[in-house]
Amino acid sequence: MRFTVVKSSELGDRWDAQFHIALAEVRARYDHLRRTMTSEEAITKLNAIPNRDRMPLAVLFRGSRDRFDGAASDRVIREYPHLALAIMERNLEPAINRIRDESEKNEAALKALMDLARESGTQPSPRSV
């Protein structure tokens, strides 16, 4: 069971426990990010994360948990950019692993296609960058 102690002066307009627990867990990093990065910089970094990998931000969402979609995560990012970034930094491993797995599958598929092209005498056209 996770818990934290919250002073009444810290409640603000958020009375939900999961929000305050998440904040307590990343408080030091959150404070550092607020001092060293603008909201716009944090939002830019968060926008680079695919929507399907933003589920850790659901703890910041107000509303039904089954409605946490791309629009909801965008709203959370705009409302709590530094806190959202601190939470995502602690939860990057699943996204990294998913993208690595996809990359490995794509690399294997590309190798198979290139081998087939070589065996058939077909020369793929150079890729433009």
Q: What is the pLDDT of residue 43?
A: 97
Q: Where are the domains of the chain?
A: 8-91, 93-122
With a cut of 90, say whether residue 49 has pLDDT above it. Answer: yes
Residue 84 predicted with pLDDT over 90? yes
| pLDDT at residue 1, rounded to an integer | 55
Q: For all residues of the chain together, what is the average pLDDT? A: 84
Closest CA to 16 of 49, 60, 70: 60
What six digits make up the tokens of 102? 């996809």
Minimal CA–CA distance to 83: which of 35, 36, 42?
42
Rounded Cα distance between 126 and 21, Å, is 52
Reported as a single tens digit per residue, the pLDDT across 85-125 is 999 999 888 889 999 999 999 999 999 988 898 888 887 77
Rounded Cα distance, 114 and 3, in Å = 54
Q: Give the DSSP letter of residue 41.
A: H
Q: Does an H or E element contain 98, and which? A: helix 93-120
The reported pLDDT for the residue numbered 129 is 45
27's enclosing H/E stretch is: helix 17-36
Q: Are 84 and 48 in contact (CB under 8 A)?
A: no
Residue 7 predicted with pLDDT over 60: no
